[in-house]
Structure 1
């Protein structure tokens, strides 16, 4: 290498060194500028112009951001969604539908971290972007699936033009079948999906309206199903009596009349006939309560269930639940009754045939409360059924005396009737071709005794006379009570002289 070449080489090295130093200097200046810029944004505050949905979180701490979003959620929950079904509107607040922000904490974290992680240049670029345009983080709005389904079931589904099951009626000319009709119902899952899509795609945080999604609904009972109902499987009747109680019997039997029970389906008499109040056609009439006869709404409904119970027995349907009355009733033999009492006693039976059954009920022109069950007869034509009540034990009622401060001194009045207590078995006896083939106990019933209650008057201004009778009543001895009444009457007469 010549001297000239060496000088040129050293010169190039110096120039390259100067260039490198210049680049390093420039890079340092640029990095310093970038660092100075990004360091202006506090680590514990969200940068300016950052939104979650429509909520501006600029300059807020994590706690402040969460509180602001919670306030927005509260306002959002007050908005209503109106769903149209067959021209009818069903409304609910978003709060009722379980509206919520699914990822609010993640959104706040993303807002807090924006421009504060990654390389220096990337952070600078992200933060510089905020001076020109806002950054919007999209929250996910959710609904509680179960709560919204319940709202739709309660408020929207009733408006749909539902499928109509085939029905059957009994008239003088026999059994008539009315054909089924296909209908529509609210597609709850589809409707909820559509509401969520609107919330997350185009919602302006106000109340909104939309068409509910519907789907085809098939009838559960068809003309073909009912075509097998041709035979009377069993029937029973009791005397309907009169008075206010008769109105309850008529109301109850009308609610059960026309019921079609599909194979394997169970029917609760309580669920079909309740609630027992004036609004649903019932009046006050006598019923058993705590060993006494008192007036209650729906009094007499037990005779409806009892009459149907006996028709069920003769039809040989499956009895799922059946309870006796607390005391004996007069309209059927012991153990042939089926009581209804609030949520504690119900008569439930199941269609254990392979084809549907139809329940016909009425109070006929002879004032007989009648039930007949129709279906497809599959039993042997020679089969005959009898039911026999066997009294296992009997407990005769006594007499109970009770002091009554509202009844004049010495007066005696019967205020509670007597009822005999019994334990009874019900036997089912089956004959085929004229011969007994089985005899089985199908229920065991216990009926409580109720003592005859006699109220004894102690109403008088003479407290000593009242005390004499009251003391005698506590002994429950008739002779002592009568003697005390005589003594008290004398005391009362003496005090008046």
Structure 2
């Protein structure tokens, strides 16, 4: 009896072993059952058969397909070939064939018998440079840059030019949409993608500039006895400032607008004040331009945010009303605190440099008067320096003393002839220059 049981057991084991071996033999060069690529059943197919089936189903016409991007009334087309679209057929077949074979032999057998479902998706590569050129071509033809509205004023004649609304491609979204279509659509038809354009509204609009209709302030200074080189420097820098538009809340910077004063720009040597002394330097005279502009600005309701006085008195504006500049060191700045934009017109004419500030006529309902108040004379000290090499009775004035001066600059505001307010604009403090006297002490 035991012998019979042993024989039966041996036969069962042999049968199982044969079935086990046959199961693997049948798929030795074939893909395991239950493996799908893009809904194509690759069960029991060889690699070559699987590749042929995928290509016949999806990829046979890929080279003849194209992508069209539609934007408004424009269409932009590129072929799959030009885009360099290449699907990963070989890679996906290798993965399909390896499915179930990366486990131990018993787990592979269980996978073979249970016929579980494993799905793979095709992916692709494309020529990134060709893709970029395609997108750039769309941007070039379907888009445009925004342009601010512009204003020109010549001798009181005001012209306003309308803004240009920009058109900007939703580039990232278009790239994503095209990629998604290529991943999802493996059919034979061409691919259509609708691109999106957004409007870019310029910062400066025509309606804003239409408010500029009147001169609200002006100031001029004389060029009498100013040399030829100095006048040339003044003309160049005035021309640079002329036509400047300052929107509400924006900051004006003289150095930023005018730039460095160099000989390459036509500036010449002329007198400048450095450490209380006059010396020649490129761009001499530009401070008269910044000072003239300063006096026009403070006669509106705008205060300077950066202003520096000279170390010596200048002849072209009253004491305390100058504004010296030096590129990279000293600047003249202000923020347009008015509710309207301002336009700066500057010119050199008839031996005068002048600036006119244009803005809304309603600002002229107020009149501004600039006054110097709280003036104080700051007396210099007399400093005695003894010189042992000089005899008693020797006296020499090494440095002439100069009185200093301090004051407050105020803006008085009138409406219908009545004073309604006054505001401090800035303080002036010119330090005195001490007198230095040398006396001899040698006996």
TM range (shorter): 0.5 to 0.7
Match of 2:10 among 2, 17, 24: 17
Matches within 5 A, 1:75-114: none
Query: How far does residue 165 in structure 1 lie from its aligned partner after superposition?
Result: 3.2
Q: Say whether residues 1:258 and 2:243 are aligned partners.
A: yes
Find the aligned partners of 1:13 and 1:228 in 2 and give their Cα distance: 110
Shift of 1:378: 2.7
Matched with 1:358 is 343
1:447 shift after superposition: 2.3
| Residue matched to 2:376 | 392
Describe the shift of the 1:259–1:394 C-alpha distance in structure 2 as closer, same or farther (beyond 3 A). Answer: same
Q: Which has the higher contact order (CA 8 A, sep 6+)?
A: 2
User: Pairwise CA RMSD of aligned residues?
Assistant: 5.1
1:268 to 1:185, Cα distance in 2 relative to 1, 3 A: farther
Q: Provide the secondary structure at the position in 1 that maps to 2:427.
A: strand
TM-aligned CA deviation for residue 336 of structure 1: 1.5
Aligned pair partner of 1:297 in 250, 264, 282: 282
CA deviations over 1:270-306 (Å, ceiling 9, x no partner):
2111122223343333323333333333333222222
Task: Report the Cα offset of residue 445 of structure 1.
Answer: 1.8
Q: Structure 1: where are the runs of 5+ without partners? A: 1-6, 32-113, 125-136, 143-155, 202-212, 402-413, 453-475, 484-497
Match of 1:182 in 2: 164
TM-score by length of 2: 0.56
Shift of 1:307: 1.2
Deviation at 1:334, TM superposition (A): 2.4
2:355 to 365, 371, 376: 371
Structure 2 residue aligned with 1:349: 334
Deviation at 1:229, TM superposition (A): 1.2
1:227 maps to which of 210, 224, 247? 210
Contact 2:372 2:407 in 1 (8 A): no
- The DSSP-based 3-state class of the residue aligned with 2:362 is coil
Pair 225,21 (structure 1): closer, same or farther in 2 beyond 3 Å: same
Alpha-carbon distance in 2 for matches of 1:350, 1:16: 101
| Paired residues of 1:327 and 1:419 also in contact (CA < 8 A) | no
In the TM superposition, residue 228 of structure 1 has moved relative to its aligned partner by: 1.6
Of 255, 272, 277, which aligns to 1:287?
Answer: 272
Match of 2:153, SS state, is strand
How do 1:198-209 residues align onto structure 2 when only pairs under 5 Å count? none
Give distance in 2, aligned partners of 1:317 and 1:123. Answer: 85
Q: Is the 8 A contact 1:327 1:421 kept in 2?
A: no
**1:427 aligned partner:** 410
CA distance in 1, matches of 2:247, 2:211: 12
CA contact (8 A) 1:335 1:389 kept: no
Describe the SS at the equivalent of 2:406: strand
Q: Do the aligned partners of residues 234 and 284 (structure 1) sit closer, same or farther apart at CA in structure 2, a change above 3 Å counting?
A: same
Say which structure is richer in helix: 1
Q: Normalising by the residue count of structure 1, what TM-score does the alignment of the two structures yield?
A: 0.51
Task: Give CA-to-partner distance per residue, 1:413-441, whole Å, 9 cap, x none.
Answer: x9999765322321323344444343443
Q: Offset at 1:361?
A: 0.7
2:325 paired with 1:340 = yes
Query: Structure 1 residues 239 and 415 mapped into 2: Cα distance closer, same or farther (>3 Å)?
Result: farther
> SS state of the match for residue 275, structure 1?
coil
Q: 1:296 to 1:257 in 2, by over 3 A?
A: same
Shift of the 377–317 alpha-carbon distance from structure 1 to 2, 3 Å rule, reads farther
How far has the Cα of 1:362 moved from its partner? 0.6
* Per-residue Cα deviation, 1:370-398 (whole angstroms, up to 9, x for no partner): 11111113347463423225432324487
Query: In the alignment, is residue 313 of structure 1 matched against residue 298 of structure 2?
Result: yes
CA contact (8 A) 1:397 1:421 kept: no
